[in-house]
Amino acid sequence: MARPLPERVEALIVGAGPIGLACAIAATRRDVDTLVIDAGAIADAIVRYPIGMTFFTTPERLEIGNHPLACSGAKATREEALMYYRGVVRAEGLDVRTHTRLLSAVRDGDDFRCVVATAGGEATIRCTRLVLATGYFDHPNLLGVPGESLPHVSHWFDEPHRTAGLDIVIIGGKNSAVETALQCHRAGARVTLVYRRAEFKPSLKYWLRPDLENRIAAGEITARLGAEVLSISPTHVLIRGADGSDESIPADRVYALTGYLPDFDLMHRLGIAFDAAGDRPQLDPATLETSVPGLHLAGSVGAGRFTSEVFIENGRYDGEKIFGDASSRLAADAKYEAKPRPVGE
């Protein structure tokens, strides 16, 4: 039976991703009574990475709380990272409640009154400090076309093996979409990559670009650049090409890998102020505190729409900024020096 949730804690950290866990370590090492909740499992975003995926970041830059990340190759796999973050929770004795989602939080005197959903129903937890480390992986950028919610359409790529012998349409043209196209092709799928831009961006990883371009030139992967998706049916994807003509592409499975966004609705409900364009939450760069006193944003969620600005490597000291003193904050900034961590003010 699930342990009952505490009625009150000093700090509630929402999100047990790498940054939420790093925040929990920073808090508990300072004797702050801390609870971490996560809507899914520990490191649920990494759970949803493709099976067997290798991180591009070297292992020491994925580490939190100075716990060493050992891996069998030069870089950690998804599975090694999951084992690592699980192990950190155990070694630090963090109180993490999984499958517990924050629904709302309102100021009530000096506290926040937070309503969470668990398998057993809704519960209320009071806290004086609230840290959102909720990332962005839950909220795909939807295409908004008919058929997008059909069961063979996914906004997350699971593993290439499932696609062997199938017609696969991949929508998107950034690293995830291109990597998925190459993996599905190598697993024996007939792949069509549909991208709305006329060219791939310069930020495409340097080792993916020649591989993709060579596969396209050899006719092994079909690319439709400058194309717009009009609709998805159980068997086809209808697109409008760069020349304005429509084309119906066979598709047994569709991966719409068009990026993700943080939960703007939740941030608005919590009363967090944004910049004039409404893209980036306002944060105090020293403490990562929002316009709501006592409410901080840590990790990717703090970058708003600019999800690629903050990742594990340059978010993992955010807990030092939130729970530390002036010298811990300076030390965190020094560690971020090579990969500055932009924040909206």
Nearer to ligand FAD, 35 or 239 (CB): 35
Please state the length of the chain.
345
The residue from 34, 134, 163, 192 that contacts ligand FAD (CB under 6 A) is: 134
The residue from 163, 176, 183, 192 that contacts ligand FAD (CB under 6 A) is: 176
Q: How many CA atoms lie within 13 A of 268 on its CB side?
A: 6
The site that binds ligand FAD (CB under 6 A) totals a number of residues, namely: 35
- State residue 334 phi and psi, 5-degree precision: -65, -40
Residues 86 to 125 in contact with ligand FAD, rule: CB under 6 A: 101-102
Q: How far apart are alpha carbons 203 and 64 in whole angstroms?
A: 27
Q: Give the residue from 166, 170, 146, 168 showing the smallest Cα distance to 233.
A: 146
The residue from 40, 160, 281, 324 that contacts ligand FAD (CB under 6 A) is: 40
The residue from 11, 26, 38, 85 that contacts ligand FAD (CB under 6 A) is: 38
Strand partners, 37: 14, 97
* Token pair belonging to 119: 């398998």
Q: Write down the number of H helices and E strands in the chain.
A: 8, 15
Residues whose CB falls within 8 Å of the CB of residue 302, separated by 6 or more in sequence, listed in order: 281, 283, 288, 310, 315, 318, 343
Residues 281 to 340 in contact with ligand FAD, rule: CB under 6 A: 299-300, 311-313, 315
Q: Is 177 in the site for ligand FAD (CB under 6 A)?
A: no
Q: Is 191 in the site for ligand FAD (CB under 6 A)?
A: no
Q: Is 272 in the site for ligand FAD (CB under 6 A)?
A: no
| Chain positions contacting ligand FAD, by CB under 6 A | 14-20, 37-40, 43-45, 49, 53, 55-57, 101-102, 133-135, 137-138, 176, 263, 266, 299-300, 311-313, 315
